[in-house]
Amino acid sequence: RRDPLVLFMPSGKRGRFVAGTQVLDAARQLGVYVESVCGGRATCGRCQISVQEGNFAKHGIVSSVDHLSEAGPKEERYDRVRGLPEGRRLSCSAQILGDLVIDVPQDTVINAQVVRKAADERVFDRNPAVRMCYVEVEEPDMEKPLGDLDRLKVALATDWHFDDVEVDFHITPQVQQILRKGEWKVTAAIHKDREDERPRLIALYPGLKNEAYGIACDIGSTTIAMHLSSLLSGRTVASAGTSNPQIRFGEDLMSRVSYVMMNPDGRGAMTDAVREALNGLIDKVCAEGDISREDILDSVFVGNPIMHHLFLGIDPTELGGAPFALAVSGAVEVKSSEIGLPMNAGTRTYLLPCIAGHVGADAAAATLSEGPHRQDEMMLLVDIGTNAEIVLGNRARVVAASSPTGPAFEGAEISSGQRAAPGAIERVRIDAVTLEPRFRVIGVEPWSDEPGFGEAAAQIGVTGICGSAIIEVIAEMYLSGIISEDGVVDGAMAARSSRILENGRTFSYLLHDGTPRITVTQNDVRAIQLAKAALYAGVKLLMDKQGVSHLDRIGLAGAFGTFIDPKYAMVLGLIPDCDLDKVKAVGNAAGTGARMCLLNRDYRREIEETVRKIEKIETALEPKFQEHFVAAMALPNKVDAFPNLG
């Protein structure tokens, strides 16, 4: 007779086990991550699984709950006291009796924890760097002079196979009190990020501590976004965002570097500003998740190189000019309290590696999230801010570059440009016959030609155009013939519509005749042409390096990518031709990558390895850049065709 076959979902890992094997043991042997805090004592409830019933012919398995042993007394007691949800079993108690398809739920919600679905609630395999380990420590004995802390270490080695645990010193003075308070039963938070490093005791709690949290954060130059996740269930329990207070020192990255160069206290002031904002966000997510800062035991941060350096308190001056030297490009691990983020005294902060002087840990995190290096398709990943970070590749090879798009896409350098905020025009359509526009304003429900618009707009005020709408309005102007392929606003159109205004030697388009008057000027069109040509030229360089003329997939990351309509991005030639269905906004991919590294240390190794292999292209040094740039000034492009625009 053959041994029962067990298939774990969603990982798909499988193996045969002798009948009577505990499900938790089987999972461990196969490397399937099943959480356990109590170490199999059937008290924490973290190891829940369920059985998928049915005939899984494809796998040669007929799975049934009857193939699990009956609940033993410990499991029954847990069910009585804490309640097991319908269909759930404790994997530390249930034994395998026959073939099984086992579901490892990712949502083990216990302690009535309020869980809110985050905007992007992807489920990841988990293997956090911090584990909660309940142990029962031998009581002191006059015959055996081993210290309390040393007996705790013995228990951790025996029950959890954490040998030779290093101890954060802040725990040593408290250990006796905690052990006695817990009556020799304690939960140790063990931090072990790398296989070859010693496990480290970073926090200690009396009794069973059945919860631990971590934060993942993307420090953008404009916006900072933070998520609070349970390290034990993987769920995001709170999210918060704020604008980066460094904006008061400089709108874009280079002006912040100049601020540091020109002001002796500039670096310190900007480091303080960002850390203060981060502390504010930590308070916010803790309040929303109803936890204390002390409960945060791990943290992961990403950001572009300049944000990364300023956050760590490193002078970013070297990043202001060639050769754009990073102080550190590899992943960084530091005690959070050392960088002004007090959480638990033992909490560590992990920063993903930077790819190059202008392609940061945020691009690395976005790469990890979207995984060009895991697929056969040739994928382009673009994050457009004041600088575009571009990654292109597939399983065989990944290349990366940044391109100096400038802040035009964010609404700076545009006469009526502004950041996306209430009052900003966010969508635009232009009638090709009458040249009349209709538009939509952030914070105002109806479109400009719908009833109720006037009143609603009067309350908020129509103040400008945000970055994504600038792309739309210029694309619409091009599609309706107001601007030529060279980007010139056609003055002859003034005869057809009073919307075309003469502006000295050039012409502009009147989008909204209010206070302020919102127009798109010839200079605005030029600024967007320059920005999009820089972006496109950067992408083309990477395509040359890869030797490809066609892209299978495009991911547009960041806030800009979320709001921009791919069709308009292609009409203007921001991005190369691609099947429109394959052009996707990937949201805050950098934040998602940070969350992956928080919940699974294997992702940290994956991105460290990937970044080591990514080839960095310095656009400024490539002679072809200029050629591509000139061709890309035209709408949509002088040489390249866009068959997918039809």
Residue ranges binding ligand FES (CB under 6 A): 36-38, 40, 42-47, 90, 92
What is the closest distance, in whole angstroms, from the C-beta atom of residue 88 to ligand FES in the complex? 11
Please say which residue, 47 or 96, places its beta carbon nearer to ligand FES.
47
DSSP 577-645: ---GGGEEEEESHHHHHHHHHHHBHHHHHHHHHHHHHPEE--GGG-THHHHHHHHHTSSS-SS---GGG
Q: Beta partners for 239?
A: 227
Rounded CA-CA distance 156/442 in Å is 56
Please say which residue, 44 or 462, places its beta carbon nearer to ligand FES.
44
Please say which residue, 44 or 188, places its beta carbon nearer to ligand FES.
44
Please say which residue, 38 or 473, places its beta carbon nearer to ligand FES.
38
Residue 196: burial class (beta carbons within 10 Å; 0-12, 13-18, 19+): exposed
Residue 86: burial class (beta carbons within 10 Å; 0-12, 13-18, 19+): exposed
What is the closest distance, in whole angstroms, from the C-beta atom of residue 101 to ligand FES in the complex? 20
Please say which residue, 102 or 341, places its beta carbon nearer to ligand FES.
102
What is the closest distance, in whole angstroms, from the C-beta atom of residue 91 to ligand FES in the complex? 6
Point out the residue whose Cβ comes nearest to ligand FES. 92
> Per the omega criterion (within 30 degrees of 0), is the bond before 636 cis?
yes
Please say which residue, 40 or 587, places its beta carbon nearer to ligand FES.
40
DSSP 17-52: --TT-BHHHHHHHHT-----SSSSSS-S-TTEEEEE
Whole-number Cα distances in Å, 251 to 390, 412, 419, 442, 499: 21, 9, 11, 22, 32
Q: Beta partners for 89?
A: 49
What is the closest distance, in whole angstroms, from the C-beta atom of residue 305 to ligand FES in the complex? 42
Please say which residue, 190 or 474, places its beta carbon nearer to ligand FES.
190
What is the closest distance, in whole angstroms, from the C-beta atom of residue 92 to ligand FES in the complex? 3
Please say which residue, 23 or 474, places its beta carbon nearer to ligand FES.
23
What is the closest distance, in whole angstroms, from the C-beta atom of residue 79 to ligand FES in the complex? 11
What is the closest distance, in whole angstroms, from the C-beta atom of residue 90 to ligand FES in the complex? 5
What is the closest distance, in whole angstroms, from the C-beta atom of residue 37 to ligand FES in the complex? 6
What is the closest distance, in whole angstroms, from the C-beta atom of residue 82 to ligand FES in the complex? 9
Nearest alpha-carbon partner for 475 in 567, 580, 386, 582: 567
Whole-number Cα distances in Å, 631 to 429, 489, 637: 27, 19, 6
CA dihedral 460, 465, 469, 470 (to 10 degrees): 170
Nearest alpha-carbon partner for 595 in 369, 267, 328: 369
Ramachandran category for residue 63: left, alpha or beta (phi over 0 → left; psi -120 to 50 → alpha) = beta
Q: What is the 3-state secondary structure (H, E, C) of 510-576?
A: EEECCCCCEEECHHHHHHHHHHHHHHHHHHHHHHHHHCCCCCCEEEEEHHHHHHCCHHHHHHCCCCC
Please say which residue, 24 or 457, places its beta carbon nearer to ligand FES.
24
Please say which residue, 187 or 418, places its beta carbon nearer to ligand FES.
187
Rounded CA-CA distance 320/261 in Å is 9
Give the residue ranges of DSSP H helices in 9-147: 23-30, 73-81
For the chain, the helix, strand and coil percentages under 3-state DSSP, each to the nearest 5: 35, 25, 40
Please say which residue, 39 or 357, places its beta carbon nearer to ligand FES.
39
**267 CB neighbour count, 10 Å cutoff:** 21
Please say which residue, 186 or 633, places its beta carbon nearer to ligand FES.
186
What is the closest distance, in whole angstroms, from the C-beta atom of residue 158 to ligand FES in the complex? 16
Tokens of 71: 């609940």
What is the closest distance, in whole angstroms, from the C-beta atom of residue 7 to ligand FES in the complex? 20
Rounded CA-CA distance 203/187 in Å is 8
Residue 414 gets which letter from DSSP?
A: S
Residue 302 Cα to chain centre, angstroms: 8
Please say which residue, 40 or 128, places its beta carbon nearer to ligand FES.
40
What is the closest distance, in whole angstroms, from the C-beta atom of residue 379 to ligand FES in the complex? 40
Please say which residue, 31 or 147, places its beta carbon nearer to ligand FES.
31
What is the closest distance, in whole angstroms, from the C-beta atom of residue 113 to ligand FES in the complex? 16
What is the closest distance, in whole angstroms, from the C-beta atom of residue 232 to ligand FES in the complex? 10
Residue 337 gets which letter from DSSP?
A: G
